[in-house]
Amino acid sequence: MTAKPMTKTQLVAAMADEMGSDKKTATAALDALSAIVMREVSDGGAVTVPGIGKVMCRARPERQVRNPATGETMMKPADKAGKVTIAKALKDAVNG
């Protein structure tokens, strides 16, 4: 059974505790990291967060999809999707 994901409030509190700082500083750090990652990935770049993984944008080609309600097949135009590749350090921590 999986536990509920950590909320932003819980993450900020844990970051503040780990940094030995206050919640205001931890919130600013988390918001800055989020803004940097979003800006870089939306511009087509990639960001590596050491120990966690690499966040990048992946182009998906035009493809056929099926509407599950009607069964109708249609063409979906090409688009982009965010992709996260997990770092080996995190994989090792989870598995061992």
Q: Is 12 found in the same domain as 1?
A: yes
Q: Is 93 found in the same domain as 51?
A: yes
- State the pLDDT confidence band at 32, using cuts at 50, 70 and 90: very high
pLDDT in tens, 42-72: 998 999 999 999 999 999 999 999 999 999 9
Structural domains counted in the chain: 2
Contact 30, 12 (CB under 8 A): yes
The pTM assigned to this predicted structure is 0.76
pLDDT confidence of residue 96: 83
Residue 23, domain extent: 1-43
Q: Is 79 found in the same domain as 38?
A: no
Say if residue 75 is exposed, middle or buried (CB neighbours under 10 Å; 0-12, 13-18, 19+): exposed
